Amino acid sequence: MPERIAMGGYTLIEDAPLAARNTLRVTARAALLAEVHDAAALPELFAYPAVRTGDILVLGEGSNVLFTGDYAGTVIAMATRGVEVLDDDGTRALIRVAAGERWDDFVRWSLGRGCAGLENLILIPGTVGAAPLQNIGAYGVEVGEFIDAVEAWDRESQRAVTLDRDACGFTYRDSIFKRAPDRWLITAVVFALPREHALRLDYAGVREELAAMGVTQPAPFHVAEAVLRLRTRKLPDPAVIGNAGSFFKNPVVPLAQTEALKREHPALPIWPGPQGHAKLSAAWLIEACGFKGLREGDAGISNRHALVLVNHGGARGAELWALAQRVQAGVRARFGVELEPEPRIL
The pLDDT tens digits of the residues spanning 293-307 come to 999 999 999 998 999
The model's confidence at residue 8, banded by pLDDT at 50, 70 and 90, is confident
242-345 and 83-194 share a CATH fold = no
* pLDDT at res. 92: 96
> Mean pLDDT over residues 200-213, rounded?
91
For residue 67, CA distances in Å to 77, 268, 321, 322, 346 come to 15, 32, 9, 12, 5
The CA distances from residue 316 to 29, 116, 200, in Å, are 13, 40, 39
Q: Over the chain, what is the mean pLDDT? A: 93
Please state, in angstroms and rounded to a whole number, the distance separating the CA atoms of residues 99 and 81: 7
* Dist. CA 116–CA 194, nearest whole Å: 6
Percentage of the chain modeled with pLDDT above 90: 78
Range 237-265 average pLDDT = 92
pLDDT band at 63 (very low <50, low <70, confident <90, very high): confident
242-345 has which CATH code? 3.90.78.10
Query: Is residue 320 pLDDT above 90, yes or no?
Result: yes
Q: Is pLDDT at 67 greater than 90 in this prediction? A: yes
- Helix (H) / strand (E) containing 253: strand 252-254
Cα(231)–Cα(99) distance, rounded to whole angstroms?
24
pLDDT of residue 84: 97
How many residues does this entry show for the chain? 346
The pLDDT assigned to 3 comes to 64
Does residue 182 have a pLDDT over 70?
yes
Give the H or E element holding residue 44.
Answer: helix 42-47
Q: What are residue 97's DSSP bridge partners?
A: 83, 189
135 has a pLDDT exceeding 90: yes
Torsion angle of alpha carbons 167, 169, 188, 200, nearest 10°? 120
**CA 33, CA 29: separation in Å to the nearest integer?**
9
Mean pLDDT of 195-207: 90
**CATH match for 4-78 among 3.90.1170.50, 3.40.630.10, 3.40.50.1000, 3.30.43.10:** 3.30.43.10
pLDDT at 53: 76
* Most distant pair of Cα atoms in the chain: their distance: 62
Round to whole Å and give the CA distance between 198 and 150: 24
Instruction: Give the integer Cα–Cα distance in Å for 40 and 28.
Output: 29
33 pLDDT higher than 60: yes
Identify the three-state secondary structure at position 173. Answer: coil
- Tell me the pLDDT tens digit for each residue of 88-100: 999 999 999 999 9
Q: Give the dihedral of Cα atoms 36, 38, 44, 47; nearest 10 deg.
A: 30
pLDDT at 50: 79
* Lowest pLDDT segment from 52-66, 209-223, 239-253: 52-66
With the C-alpha atoms ordered 303, 309, 314, 320, is the resulting torsion angle positive or negative? Answer: positive
Domain boundaries defined on the chain: 4-78, 83-194, 242-345
Question: What pLDDT is recorded for position 89?
Answer: 95
> From CA 255, how far away is CA 261, in angstroms rounded?
10
Active site residues: 173, 246, 342
pLDDT band at 51 (very low <50, low <70, confident <90, very high): confident
For residues 119 and 215, give the distance between their C-alpha atoms in angstroms, rounded to a whole number.
15
| CATH number of the structural domain 83-194 | 3.30.465.10
Distance of CA 319 to the CA centre of its chain: 22
